[in-house]
A = this chain, B = another copy of it.
C-alpha cells in the first residue's frame, strides 16, 4: 500500500471516487502489519464511521486488491486476511495466538524439475510455529491473546 496521498491519486486515476469510508479504510490499512481480517477492519473503522457496512469494507478491499495495493492472505482459521505489504514476502503464523508476521527472508525458488511442463508464477511460503511472545510464554502457560479458530 502506498502512502495515503499517492494512493488517493492512484485511485482517482483508476476512475474510483474518494468517499470518506474508503479514505478511512485506507488510513487504517496504511502501515498496518497485523494482517487484519475484513471484520477487524470493519470494527476499527466503524468507530469513527458508525454507518459503515461490512459490504463496503469488502468492496474497498477487493478494489485495492485489483489495483495491486493490498495482498490477500489465507492462513486458515476461516477468515481471509489483508496485507498492505505488497513487496514479495512470506508469512509466519503463530499456532498459539494466531498472529501473522511478515517474513522477508530470501527463499530460493524450488527445483522445478519435479514439475515438467508447468509454469510457476509465484511461490507462497507459510511458516508455522510459536511467535516470540508465545514461545516465551510457554513456560508460564498463560492463555493465548487471540486464539486461532480450531480449524
Contacts and interface: CB of A to CB of B under 8 A. Distances in A.
A125 B123 contact: yes
Contacts of A95: 121
Oligomer: number of copies: 2
A122 interface: yes
Interface residues of A, number: 42
A106 interface: yes
Given A105-B112, A110-B127, A118 B136 contact: no
Interface in A80-118: 80, 90, 92, 94-95, 101, 103-108, 110-118
A124 B128 contact: yes
Contact of A115 (B103, B117, B126): B103
Interface of A: 62, 72, 74, 76, 80, 90, 92, 94-95, 101, 103-108, 110-132, 135-136, 151
